[in-house]
Amino acid sequence: DTGVSQNPRHKITKRGQNVTFRCDPISEHNRLYWYRQTLGQGPEFLTYFQNEAQLEKSRLLSDRFSAERPKGSFSTLEIQRTEQGDSAMYLCASSLGVGADTEAFFGQGTRLTVV
């Protein structure tokens, strides 16, 4: 296993368009997280899944954002009607989620630029 994989690495889109990002977690990990990181800031929690169930969503996750993890494996994050303020690095992470859940492993992120 090569770790958490995110695609695409970079995405440039026009304002108002929809975009979708994909995250493939480490195979035996039950928990999957999405974070957003804007320039000069630390990552901020958006949402997380335990298997296919979305257990928590941050208030940062507006109605234009939707995340899914249909079979408890990979996850997608969709942003509808993108705005310039959505420009950020979107980070995915995964963790075991059972027993001693002590470390989250991060992917390399998807950098979104809305023009």
Partner 1 sequence: AQSVTQLDSQVPVFEEAPVELRCNYSSSVSVYLFWYVQYPNQGLQLLLKYLSGSTLVKGINGFEAEFNKSQTSFHLRKPSVHISDTAEYFCAVSPAGTASKLTFGTGTRLQVTL
First to last CA, the chain: 35
Instruction: Out of 61, 77, 79, 91, name the contact with partner 1 by CB under 8 A.
Output: 91
CB of 1 to partner 1, least distance (A): 15
The reply to whether 45 sits near partner 1 by the rule CB under 8 A is: yes
Residues contacting partner 1: total by CB under 8 A: 27
Three-class SS of residue 86? helix
Residues 49-68 that bind partner 1 (CB under 8 A): 56
Contact residues for 34 (Cβ-Cβ < 8 A; gap 6+): 23, 46, 47, 48, 67, 75, 77, 90, 91, 92
How many Cβ atoms sit within 10 Å of the Cβ of residue 58? 15
Token output for 99 = 């027993």
Instruction: Out of 21, 34, 48, 65, name the contact with partner 1 by CB under 8 A.
Output: 48
The reply to whether 97 sits near partner 1 by the rule CB under 8 A is: yes
Q: Which amino acid is at 95?
A: S
Instruction: Out of 42, 63, 71, 85, name the contact with partner 1 by CB under 8 A.
Output: 42
Which residues in this chain contact partner 1 in the complex, by CB under 8 A?
4, 6, 31, 33, 35, 40-45, 48, 56, 91, 93, 95, 97, 101-109, 111
